[in-house]
Structure formats: structure tokens, C-alpha cells
Amino acid sequence: MKTFIRLTAIVRPYFWWMALAALIGFATTGSGIGLLMTSAYIIAKAALQPPMAALQLGIVGVRFFGLARGVLRYAERLVSHNTTFRILAKLRLWFYDALEPLAPARLLHFRSGDLLQRIVDDIQSLENLYTRVLAPPVTAILVALLMWVLAGTYSLQAALLILCFHLLAGIGVPLLTMLLGRGLSVGIMNRKTDQQLLALDLIQGIGELQVYGRLAGHLEEMRSVESAKLQLQRKNAIVEGLQESLTGLLMNGAVLTILWALIPIVSTGAMNGISLAVITLAVMASFEPFIPLPAAVKHLEADRHAGKRLFEILDAKPETSSPAAPVPFPANRAIKIEKLSFTYPGSLTKALDSICFSVPAGQHIAIVGPSGAGKSTITSLFMRFWNSSEGGISIGDVDISLLDPEELRRNISLVSQRTYLFAETIRENLLLAKPDATDEELRKALSQAGLINFASKLDEWIGQHGMKLSGGERQRIAIARIVLQNAPMIILDEATANLDGITEKEVTDTLSSISRGKTMITITHRLKAMDQYDNIIVLDKGKIVAQGVHENLMNREGLYHRMWELQHATPAVLTEVPE
């Protein structure tokens, strides 16, 4: 119920639009009833062979209601779709607005297929909240009231009997179908989520599944989810069929009952036969708005489930938040890290433990250490994806938590191990860094990044995740983005780790030349060309174990020296001199 109330709060701004659509919906059904009533009037009256003029009223009525029904149906569709699309747009914006601050920290425990399902299908399901859940009962209630008045003018007993049938069709049948179909909608939705997750795993991991001989098992799992979904859909179809038959049965029951109640009145002469025919057909037509009610109950269940899943994400508190009055970005770009500690939620060990170091403006430093030492955690804290547990990071003596996070990220160019490229053209992928860049600027950036041959292919599609490019080319696109962004600080997080030796050297050289004069932090576990750095921080198990320039670190026994020796040892076989 709480979820439903929260959902209705979202659509509340559209109350008047919804009320208008419901009113036109009622007028449409009313015209349908009027059409049948006037038709019955003409047929019954004509059977008595009156003069043509006596049928005029009926003929005008048929024309009026016939035309009105079509026009009103069109107007109702127009208004209700307009309302639905407004609600949908609001829902999507509302969801994206709430989702963005949660990334990436709070979204880590959601699988991407699951998130996709929530963004697409759950919101799509809520789109029907008005048309399929809220509007049908309103129309049904108004029609029941109309019939109460119509039948009540002839007999209170008849009006009461019709009300009973309407209550059975409006409450009894939906309740019965809800009981019989309990869990079916949610079950179908869950199976669809499973299918999406399995399909994503299949597409993204087909290579691994093939190599480890798991493809057949995975396909079997997909088949079993599909058959479980089909089974639920079959049950659902049976319940739907039953519901339609029951509503039809009640309609016929109401017709028979009204005849039973009114024929004695006709016999007494208090009511004429034509009125009996008219009211009987009106009763028949009045059941039309009751047909969608059981489906409304089912949609309500699905919407509550979808709403719960969306609120689950939206209720998560963002890990980091923007300060109410951010401090202007400092002109001094010196970085200072003081007693920085961080523990990931649920982890018992500190990923970073009282780290202290500083980077004077314009200097290039490296943070090195074995895998799991905590190097990337520093980047995440720097980009404000997470908040530090203790201590902090400051730029020009201003703590980064006082800065606007968006401005902070605009001032830092980050290149990670795997550059994310969108399935777009080269141009679109570059404009991400500078949306208003001219073609000339794009070409210059590509040329500086060592991709001069791409300058003439700005509109070439680069494939899903940039599949049509080599690893080196993808990283060079990231470098071109740095050139365009022209931020004063650069963080390279294992930016060349995936490249072969020769490409790595070329990319590193390009990076050194474009980062001249900028403050740069290079995070790496591979010790290459280390003498170019002004300072090297050696990190192990979240702690700084040494720092200094390459030469000094090499003169000491320790982790850095060992890592260097290990990575630069010449295989014995090569040093052996053949006799």
C-alpha cells in the first residue's frame, strides 16, 4: 500500500489531466449505452408500426450517440495518451536524476541486466499506472451510478439488483482473479529479468562459455527459464479467459434479472414495453467498463512490484553529495593527501591506511605497488565516487568535499585501463570531452594523440565498445579526449596496462608530451621509464612503504627494488653464453 501511495504521489501533478481523461472515458461509454438505448427504442417502437415521424427522436439519438462515441473515443485516447506520455517522461527524468548520484558506489551490487530491466521494463510498466489501474475503476463507478439512476426511475428493486451484479463484476471477479492469479504477474516479470541477465551473460561471455564447455549448460538454463515463463503465461491466459467469461455471465445474469424484475411492472401498465427494451439493452452495455477491472488489479500488482524495485534503488542514499554552497575551484592545483584512510563497506581490512603525500602543481608522480595495494581506491576517492573514512584530499588547500563534484571531475582527466567507448562515431566519442569542439579541434586532438590517420574518419562507426579499434587505438582516443578536455590535472590509472611493449612506449611518450606543465598522477604496477617522475609513492596493503625518486628507491632494499628486479630480470637462458 505504501508503494502504491508513493506511486500515486508521482502522478498527482497530472490529476486534472487524468480527471479530464476519465470524464471523457465515461462520456464515451455513456454514448455507447445511449446508442444501444436509442437503437432499442427505434426497433421496439418500429415493431408497433407507428408513423415515421414518431421514430424521429430515436433516429436523431442514434446519429448523435453514434457520432459522439467515435469522436469521444478519439478525444479520450488523445488526452489519456498525452497524460501517459507526460507521466512517462516525468518518471524517466525522476529516475535518472535519482540514479546519477548513486553511481558508481551504490550501484555496485546491482547486475547491469537487472538495472537495465528496472530502467526500461519497470518504468514502462508504471506508464500504465493511469490508463490501466486508476482510470478503469473511475469509469466503472460513474457508469454504475448512471445505471442506478436509470433503473431507479422505474424500480428501486431493479436498481438494487443491477447494483449487486455491478458489485460482483467490479469487486467479486477482480478479487477472484487476483486470488487465482496471485504471483503470476510478478513471476512473469522475474522470469523476464532472469532471461535478460542470462542473455547479457551469453552475449558478453560467449567466448568463456565456449572455452570452458559451459555453452550447452547456459543455453539449457535459458530454455528452462523460458519454459517456466511460458508456464506462468499459460496460467495467466487461463485466469484471463475465466475472468472474461465470468463478466459475460454476470452481464447475462443482470439482463435476465432486470427482465424478471421489470416484466411484472410492464404487465401492470406502469411501464411500457419500449422502455423495458431500452433499459435491458442499457444494462447489457453498462458492463463494458467492468471488463478491464480484473486486469487493473493484475496491473496494480505488477506496478507495485515495479515501484518497489525502483524505490529500492532510489531510496539508497548517495555515497557522496554536493556541498550546499561549493567553494570556487582553487587556482592553485597542488594536491595534498593527508592521513587518508578508507574501508570498503562490508570489508574488514582497510583498503587505504593513513596515506600522506603531496604533489606540487605541475609535477608528475607515480603511485606503484602490487595488485590490491589500494592504488585505484585513491583514484575513486579523488573523483569523489566514495567518501574517505578518515583524512582527506585537498587541492590548493581546499578539501575536495567542499568543491562541486562536477567541477572537480571537469578539472581532472582520468584515463583508466579500459577506456569506455560508446557504439557511436569517432566524433561522438570525442565530443564527450568537449561538446562544442570544432572539427579542426577534433582533428588536432587526434593528431596529438597519434591518430592522424583517423582525422579523415571522424564519422566512422567504431563498433560496439569500440570493437573495430585496437587496444592501442582505444587508449589513444582516451588521450585525444584528454587533449580536448584540457584539464589541469591528469590521473592515469593503469592506462597502458593492456598494451603491448611497443604500443605502451608510444602511448606513454605521447602522454608525457601532452601532460607537460600539468599535475599528473600515474598509477601503475608496471615499472617502466620511472626516472621521468618527480616522486614515486610505493604502496603495499593500503600503506605507503617508501617514497622518493627512482634512483633513491633503487638504492634501497625494499618492495620497489624487488618489483623492479622482478620485472626487469633478464631470463637466464638469454644471458648464458654458448660455449
Residues lying near ligand ADP in the complex (CB under 6 A): 108, 344, 347, 351, 369, 371-377
Helix axes 15-46, 56-99, angle to 10 degrees: 160
Nearer to ligand ADP, 218 or 525 (CB): 525
Burial of 73 (0-12, 13-18, 19+ CB in 10 A): middle
- C-beta closer to ligand ADP: residue 150 or 415: 415
- Hey, what's the cell of 142? 460513474
* Cα gap 499→99, rounded to integer Å: 34
Sheet hosting strand 412-415, strand order edge to edge: 412-415, 489-493, 519-524, 364-368, 535-540, 543-548
Output the smallest distance, CB 245 to ligand ADP, in A.
54
| 335-342 and 352-359 beta bridge pairing | antiparallel
CB of 419 to ligand ADP, least distance (A): 17
As a whole number of angstroms, the distance between CA 124 and CA 577 comes to 72
Q: In the complex, what is the shortest distance from the CB of residue 351 to ligand ADP, in angstroms, rounded to a whole number? A: 4
Q: How far is the CB of 100 from ligand ADP (least distance, A)?
A: 19
Q: How many residues does the chain have?
A: 579
Cβ proximity to ligand ADP, 18 vs 373, nearer residue? 373
Instruction: Calculate the alpha carbon distances from 511 to 56, 166, 504, 519, 525 in Å.
Output: 90, 76, 10, 12, 17
Identity of the residue, 189 or 337, whose beta carbon is nearer to ligand ADP in the bound complex: 337
How far is Cα 62 from Cα 41, in angstroms, rounded to an integer? Answer: 10
* Rounded (10°) angle between helices 215-268 and 156-167: 180
For 244-298, the DSSP string reads: HHHHHHHHHHHHHHHHHHHHHHHHHTSS-HHHHHHHHHHHHHTTGGGTTHHHHHH
CB of residue 326 vs ligand ADP: minimum separation in angstroms?
Answer: 27
Parallel/antiparallel/unpaired status of strands 364-368 and 519-524: parallel
DSSP tally for the chain: helices H, then strands E: 22, 10
Give least dist CB 359 to ligand ADP, A.
18
The nearer residue to ligand ADP, 376 or 547, going by C-beta atoms, is: 376
**Nearer Cβ to ligand ADP, position 349 or 575?**
349
Which CB sits closer to ligand ADP, 510 or 524?
A: 524
Query: Please, what is the minimum distance in Å from the beta carbon of residue 462 to ligand ADP?
Result: 28
Q: Which is nearer to ligand ADP, 376 or 447 (CB)?
A: 376
Minimum distance from residue 103 beta carbon to ligand ADP (Å) = 13
